[in-house]
Amino acid sequence: MALIRPSTLLLATGMSAPALYHATVAGDLSATAAMERFLLAVAVSAVLLAGLRAVTASYARHRIATAPVRAEDKVVDEPSGG
């Protein structure tokens, strides 16, 4: 499980955006509480994205193994010497 992937941090920022807004702009939430919520959101988003990657990984392997190939893609042109 990767906690410091850009997708994980972006999802965590989106999940904790209301808390971050109230801590920075509105000022009615302490920075400590906002960071606790952000760190909790990082853990939750890492688990969610790991589950998504696990589900979709089998589709990529199956797609590549059974992908149809066009006839013009099967022909390999040898480079001419010269």
Q: Is residue 50 part of a domain?
A: yes
Q: Is residue 75 part of a domain?
A: no
| Amino acid 77: pLDDT | 66
| Amino acid 4: pLDDT | 84
Q: Is residue 37 part of a domain?
A: yes
Q: What is the 3-state secondary structure (H, E, C) of the chain?
A: CCCCCHHHHHHHHHHCHHHHHHHHHHCCCCHHHHHHHHHHHHHHHHHHHHHHHHHHHHHHHHHHHCCCCCHHHHCCCCCCCC
Number of domain units in the chain? 1
Q: Is residue 81 part of a domain?
A: no
**pLDDT, tens digit, for every residue of 27-81?**
899 999 999 999 999 999 999 999 999 888 877 666 666 667 776 666 666 767 6
Domain of 25?
A: 6-64
pLDDT beyond 80 at 8: yes
Q: Is residue 74 part of a domain?
A: no
